[in-house]
Structure 1
Amino acid sequence: MKKWHPFASMPEQYIGLQDIINKQVEVPQPLLTEEQMEQINFTLIEALHTNKQVYLTYYKQGQCITETGFIQFVDSFGELFIFIDDVFELKNKMRLSELIDIGFM
């Protein structure tokens, strides 16, 4: 797909090509079983109380993204949690429904 970049001289054409490329790499959001959701819940609670470093895999805009860091806050009623990434130490507020997998480092 990189061979088409020199032909993207018009901004509209470049945006259209980028949209086509992004749609080709999109994946559907994986569905989790009750057992997987329960395991994620236990791991989140343990990571929050022990302050251990975890890796997270979450779904965002058609992509599965994996990051490492620490869990700072979990709101099970609002279905949100706050994750501090390991690289830039930024706070990321995410929905629990976006979370695919979590584990300890």
Structure 2
Amino acid sequence: MQNRGMKKWRPFATMPEQYIGLQEMIKKQAEVPQPFLTEEQMEQINFTLIEALHTNKKVYLTYYKHGQCITGTGIIQFVDSLGGLFVFIDEGGKQTNKMRLSELIDIRFM
């Protein structure tokens, strides 16, 4: 008698196209709508951004991207309020991320 391994636990993934389609459906079901921010919350985010830029303190960022709320830590490097963009460097200093201010949901000091 030979063990079939994982084959018996994956009945719906017999065709690669079918597996990809199922993964996309699961991903779409997990998406959340972008949270709405009040004027007061946007003002608080703006003050915190400017303070973090001038003091070079690390911050927790929560932003909305591709149907998900993502949390990360980093240092604010540049803020362009007229263009609606900001740049932050992740905690390890490995990656520079350029984002829209409209994607930012929350920012807090560490």
* CA–CA separation in structure 2 for the residues paired with 1:35 and 1:86: 28
Q: Which runs of 4+ in 1 moved over 6 A?
A: none
Structure 1: unaligned runs, 5 residues or longer: none
Q: CA RMSD in A?
A: 1.7
**Is 2:70 the partner of 1:65?**
yes
Structure 2: unaligned runs, 5 residues or longer: 1-7
Counterparts in 2 of 1:7 and 1:34: CA distance versus 1, 3 Å: same
Normalised by the size of structure 2, how large is the TM-score?
A: 0.87
**Structure 2 equivalent of residue 99 of structure 1:** 104
**What's the CA shift for 1:89?**
2.3
Normalised by the size of structure 1, how large is the TM-score?
A: 0.91
Counterparts in 2 of 1:9 and 1:57: CA distance versus 1, 3 Å: same
Deviates more, 1:43-52 or 1:85-94: 85-94
Max Rg structure? 2
Counterparts in 2 of 1:14 and 1:34: CA distance versus 1, 3 Å: same
Sequence identity percentage? 80
* AA partner of residue 25 (structure 2): I
Instruction: Provide Cα deviations, 1:39-97, integer angstroms capped at 9, x if missing partner.
Output: 00000000000000000000001100000010000000110000101135200000000
* CA–CA separation in structure 1 for the residues paired with 2:11 and 2:91: 37
**Is 2:66 the partner of 1:51?**
no
Match of 1:37 among 42, 52, 62: 42
